[in-house]
Amino acid sequence: MKEIKPVKSNTLHYYMAGLTILFAVTFSYTFNSKIDINGDNCAYYMLATSIAGGHGYSDITSEAYNPTNVFPPGYPLLMSFIRIFTDGFFPQKVLNGLFLLGSVLLLFFFVRKNKLPDSLAFVASAVVLLNYQVLHFATMMMSEMSFLFFAVLTLWFLCKADDGKPFWKDRYFYLAIFSAAYCYHVRTQGIAMAAAVLGYFLFTKRWKEMLAFAGGFVVCLMPWMLRNRIIGTGQSRYLSMINIANPWRPETGTLSVSEIISRFFETFGMLVSKAVPNSILPYFSTDYISPSVWSEWGTAVILFAVIGIGIWQLGRYKYLFLFYIVATFGVISLFSTPSENRYITSLLPFLEVGLIVGLYTVLSFGIRKMKITKAFSPWLLIPLFFFSYPKLEQAHAQNKAPFPANYRNFFAIAEEVHKKLPASTMVCSRKSELFYMYGKNAVCGYVWTEDDRELIQGLIQSKTEYVVVEQLGYSSTARYLYPAVQKHPELFKTVIHLPDPDTYLLKFDREKAVEKFNK
């Protein structure tokens, strides 16, 4: 491909303005002003509140402010700067949107730096802003967008560090180490970025850079690891999940090494044949429960072939892209949690860029071979954008709709607790983080066990005063909590009952439970 001359700066400004305008349109159209009902976004918010309040990285759901490592600290730390000034959700969601915009602009410059047409860099970056999955997470208080930003920033710093200086004299090399380390501190999945960079240095035979990067990365990880060791919070919870058969059914036990390997390849196949096509092709519906069929594998092979062709146009950085994609799939495949396409959200922009560059390369080659015209314009790929509209319209409708009735009841009980009970009142429920956001009281979860005595003992030990029996759709309530309540009705008195669907706030008689179970 002929080397492309850099566009004039004013034209470059037009491209940047175009991406910014497209971001403003799609982000505002799919924006969700409500809190997301997944629960994890509440946990991030609460950790940011703890940092902003001067309590460190702690659990604020009890008066003890116990140190925690439930999530890596990177995203709550970023949130805390806003949390100091406001407790609103809106600014936090805008921050996530800005991380997305920053990522897209950096991807534009990254593609452009690899001597591809500026118009192609624009189209490849713009398509990221039309991805339903990416926009869906951009309007949550979740870590995906900040993770994406620091992943792309790592690539950009490596690009800048390759401009000729010895690496030990180049500030961009050190910034790349810091950015990759912060990636890991946002999501443990960030270890894939470190592996990709090391693989890149290995394949380009840059041994000194590889050793220096590895050493710098480990040094950046040490403060968090030492902090956890000193306070006794143990290792990352994600590491402990690798050999668990089902995290939502602890009674199912653990897996053998052969079973872990089998699950790894099963998940890897699901990601390739189902999750990626479902996330990149907006009209490609997927059944994640049934085994992959030949048509899904055929679609995946074609899709990854085009993506691979696109990545191969990125010069020496093709290895970095390829290693990052493979390493990310590998890390995700180790998780025991059925993830569908959730955990590839931060990888999708890289795949989208590869797809668009690949399409451009294939079509350009075909047109030249058939002698239709001398060149293929990237602008002719823009009609593909319109395939994204149905999914964006679906996201718009979902995000503007009110909470489902089961969540409205759950939040209504939390608001009543906030109005009528002291903040120190301990309430036990499923999705306790969500309950805290409306109740502003001490919260805890119940023990996931089919042994009713063990579950009641857990309520006693956590000093539970009230229990919420809800119908949010999670099987643990029906499997663990509800049978224990039914078996010991004398320990639970109904305080609030909301119908359609039935949702209860029960007063737990802790003294009677102690007397009954400690005989």
- Predicted local distance difference test score (pLDDT) of residue 3: 46
pLDDT of 466 > 90? The answer is yes
For the chain, give the mean pLDDT.
91
Q: Specify the pTM.
A: 0.92
- Predicted local distance difference test score (pLDDT) of residue 321: 92
- Predicted local distance difference test score (pLDDT) of residue 1: 44
Element (H, E) at 20: helix 9-29
- Predicted local distance difference test score (pLDDT) of residue 235: 65
pLDDT of 490 > 70? The answer is yes
What angle, 0 to 180 degrees and rounded to 10, lies between the N-to-C axes of helices 318-334 and 257-270?
A: 130
Q: State phi, psi for 468 to the nearest 5 degrees.
A: -105, 125
pLDDT of 8 > 60? The answer is no
* Lowest model confidence (mean pLDDT) among 41-50, 212-221, 367-376, 449-458: 367-376
Q: Work out the percent of the chain whose per-residue pLDDT is above 90.
A: 71
Hey, what amino acid is at 155? Answer: L
CB 44 within 8 A of CB 75: yes
pLDDT confidence band for 239 (50 / 70 / 90):
low
* Lowest model confidence (mean pLDDT) among 24-28, 60-64, 136-140: 60-64
- Predicted local distance difference test score (pLDDT) of residue 240: 67
Query: Rounded to an integer, what distance in angstroms lies between the CA atom of residue 214 and that of residue 195?
Result: 9
pLDDT of 99 > 80? The answer is yes
Q: What are 351-376's pLDDT values in tens digits?
A: 999 999 999 999 999 988 887 777 78
Identify the residue with better confidence: 241 or 24. 24
Query: Rounded to an integer, what distance in angstroms lies between the CA atom of residue 511 and that of residue 513?
Result: 5
Q: Strand runs (DSSP E) across 416-456, as ranges? A: 427-428, 443-444
- Predicted local distance difference test score (pLDDT) of residue 372: 74
- Predicted local distance difference test score (pLDDT) of residue 2: 46
Domain edges within the chain? 9-35+89-399, 405-517
The β-bridge partners of 50 are none
| Range picked from 189-203, 277-291, 330-344, 377-391 for highest mean pLDDT | 189-203
Q: Which residues are CB-contacts of 470 (< 8 A; sequence separation ≥ 6)?
A: 406, 409, 410, 429, 430, 477, 503, 504
Query: Rounded to an integer, what distance in angstroms lies between the CA atom of residue 151 and that of residue 188?
Result: 12
Cα angle 340, 346, 351; round to 5: 90
pLDDT confidence band for 290 (50 / 70 / 90):
confident
Q: Which residues are CB-contacts of 126 (< 8 A; sequence separation ≥ 6)?
A: 18, 19, 22, 104, 385
Query: Rounded to an integer, what distance in angstroms lies between the CA atom of residue 116 and that of residue 120?
Result: 7
Identify the residue with better confidence: 506 or 234. 506
- Predicted local distance difference test score (pLDDT) of residue 519: 61
Structure tokens at 504: 């209860």
Query: Rounded to an integer, what distance in angstroms lies between the CA atom of residue 233 and that of residue 221?
Result: 16
pLDDT of 225 > 50? The answer is yes
Quick one: average pLDDT of 394-418? 94
